Structure 1
């Protein structure tokens, strides 16, 4: 009798896991479609300023959190200094709403950030890696497909008409830059998957569609970054040592960001002088300098998430000086400094160093499949480069921010030995994973990362 009950319970658990897996896949595809940037106002129920995408996206993340409770764990988080540094940074960011000048707005962003981070980490620990990438690819593919159709058949929405970007595609989005970023991510993901299966027709179509959208949106920078990411991934498979070097790029970029901020604070310039040339990066340095003028008002813990640009005096002063306004730092590094202060920036830098040491350990010890380590390193490098002129680090729901949390969780977790019901073949495969090894000076430092 007990064996019958056991088999019945096991069958019910397997059925629940199948439904949970299907629901998680669907939710992740929709998230990858919805949470990349603001859609064109004419496509949103509430028009311009609507939070429809964010609310629907958060509902999907809650769905994923609940659904993954019915999935068997595949990975387990390892207690280490590196993971504690990441938790400390995100804790500061989420808690910063408490000292924000605009508590209501900051609390909403903090709550959204907490939900998305919890969902991303649950997803990493319970969902197969290859399926995760496939779902993200499906969402981005849908974006580029519908954006192409919109640009061709509904140009009043899909094509920009302002004097700066007239004739360039924006597709489903309010800005052509967002379509460019989605296209470069689709190009990288599709090419990444083709490296293992060149007969994958879907990925070949994805590459063609991404290139078409990159050309239509005029996003040359995004295209160059995507091609560089593909070449770096290919090179990492040939030379493992390259992965160990590239793992330190995010940390180095964080230090360069700190130097740039120090330069702007010291000189009070609205531009960067390089070789006698005055660079303002399409007036982004105006935004940076305006924000940094207020740095000493809250140097240690910052103004809180969503607590700086929402201040009336900050906005009015910028409008008075430049006659235009964007509530966006256009630099992820300055966003971290202004919203979490020096304490947050230092924790962010420490987390980046721990990530580098951890990835070195994984690459040298072959403790993760090569595809996973290469994707984690290259994606982190891409996001850290992009955040010099865009703001993704402190976004609460954006897909790129979520993917950074996912690769971080991947780096600081380890595969679990499967339960007997998953099959002896899987158990033998997991037991063949070699132990982590390091040589020379990095060994002692990375043991506790």
Structure 2
């Protein structure tokens, strides 16, 4: 009788474990599918509508399942939390309240998803999840661009003939291809397991970037790759670190001097732009001038380009072409767009958050030498550069902003963990972090 009872108890425990395992797999698939949607996968319109409508209840379920950890993660960066709060209440002063009502919710939704990713997957888990998403996106994009050019290739405008794959537009595809290249290169360098698969996906990412004709994303990728020599810098002896660091500073200053001395050649002949970035500088000046009419809190999230405040820009500048095409214009500069929407206060809060995140990331990387922390550094640098010429991440509800928010929480938690370590552990910083035992695939 006792044996039967024990057997029944063991069976019940196994059943519960199986159910938890199944639920965990379902959760990963659901999170990955919605992350792909937020990153700009161009699903058929009925699917897009369904995903948008169901994203709120699904996200609520995901967040509630780990709400204590999400609350803890959200409180780690007060600046980013306050930025989203101001965006949410910006309906009170918005120039287009009906638009702000909708977009403030999507902005907060993006933040919640970012906090959820940070606590549910961590940085290593996000790298793995994104490798699947980026890999699928690249493969399907190549297939769509070659097999169904009416869908995967831009058909009209100045960008006609450039690949956009399964993404909404070509600049987003170019930016995502660069992010994928960064990720697959690090995975190929770090892990022996599936190295050739990562190299193959890296090559496809670079090919996709080339056919997308995204020159800003390509230039940003080249700059980011210059960080690779610093990856193992802090593992060296003190004298070697000094020599390598001094050499890196000298090379960096030399490169900056060469770039500044040949700026016109780089912009015109290499990037295909003029000294005014194809007319962007004059319109940026006008945007700042119009934004200064509401300097402190801006026109509300999503409020500037959907209100009368932008009429002059959309009528008497080259931005008028987007109005005729029925497409909402943006500043083609994430920082200016954030200033237009949430003013100096919003821009300052983002600046505080970014500087804090950068400092914490560098600190954590020096302490741990972890590959996922170096990935965060490279991704942050890439998003910073791309945001100077496009409005894909900063202050948006996009997948790239979700990634940034998740970084703020995940890095803050790791920073707090490291700074609270005993003094004995802090005295040997180079031994803290990921080891080969943590990653058997390295062996």
Which category describes the TM-score, using the shorter chain as reference length? 0.7 to 0.9
The answer on 1:331 being equivalent to 2:330 is no
TM-score, normalised with respect to structure 2: 0.74
Q: Measured at CA, do residues 3 and 290 of structure 1 come closer, stay the same or move farther in structure 2, by a change above 3 Å?
A: farther
CA contact (8 A) 2:145 2:163 kept: yes
d(CA) in 2 for partners of 1:115, 1:281: 33
Give the equivalent residue in structure 2 for 1:29.
32
d(CA) in 1 for partners of 2:142, 2:411: 36
d(CA) in 1 for partners of 2:309, 2:147: 43
Q: 10, 17, 21: which is aligned to 1:18?
A: 21
Give the equivalent residue in structure 1 for 2:248.
none
Q: Give the SS at the match of 1:412.
A: helix
d(CA) in 2 for partners of 1:402, 1:63: 16
Higher mean C-alpha deviation, range 379-388 or range 215-224? 215-224
Query: What do residues 301-328 of structure 1 show as CA deviations (whole Å, max 9, x unaligned)?
Result: 1111001000135235522344423521
* Pairwise CA distance, 1:98: 2.5
CA contact (8 A) 1:78 1:414 kept: no
* Pairwise CA distance, 1:14: 4.1
Higher mean C-alpha deviation, range 335-344 or range 393-402? 393-402
d(CA) in 2 for partners of 1:239, 1:176: 38
Q: Measured at CA, do residues 171 and 79 of structure 1 come closer, stay the same or move farther in structure 2, by a change above 3 Å?
A: closer
d(CA) in 2 for partners of 1:278, 1:167: 21
Q: 285, 300, 318: which is aligned to 2:281?
A: 285
* Pairwise CA distance, 1:153: 1.7
Give the equivalent residue in structure 2 for 1:372.
372
d(CA) in 1 for partners of 2:49, 2:402: 13
Q: 113, 117, 121: which is aligned to 1:119?
A: 113
Query: What do residues 343-367 of structure 1 show as CA deviations (whole Å, max 9, x unaligned)?
Result: 222222222222233234323443x
Q: Give the SS at the match of 2:292.
A: helix
d(CA) in 2 for partners of 1:3, 1:71: 32
Q: Measured at CA, do residues 6 and 372 of structure 1 come closer, stay the same or move farther in structure 2, by a change above 3 Å?
A: farther
TM-score, normalised with respect to structure 1: 0.73
- What is the correspondence of 1:202-221 to structure 2 with a 5 Å cutoff? 202-221=197-216
Q: 296, 300, 311: which is aligned to 1:300?
A: 296
Long gaps (5+) in structure 2: 236-240, 246-272, 323-327, 430-443
Higher mean C-alpha deviation, range 18-27 or range 7-16? 7-16
Query: What do residues 6-55 of structure 1 show as CA deviations (whole Å, max 9, x unaligned)?
Result: 9888667644542342123212322343223373xxx6336xxxxx6376
d(CA) in 2 for partners of 1:343, 1:74: 28
Give the equivalent residue in structure 1 for 2:126.
132
Aligned residues: CA RMSD? 3.9
Long gaps (5+) in structure 1: 47-51, 246-276, 418-430, 440-449
d(CA) in 2 for partners of 1:135, 1:415: 23
Give the equivalent residue in structure 1 for 2:440.
none
Number of residues paired by the alignment?
383
Give the equivalent residue in structure 1 for 2:402.
402
CA contact (8 A) 1:184 1:214 kept: yes
CA contact (8 A) 1:74 1:125 kept: yes
Q: Give the SS at the match of 2:77.
A: helix
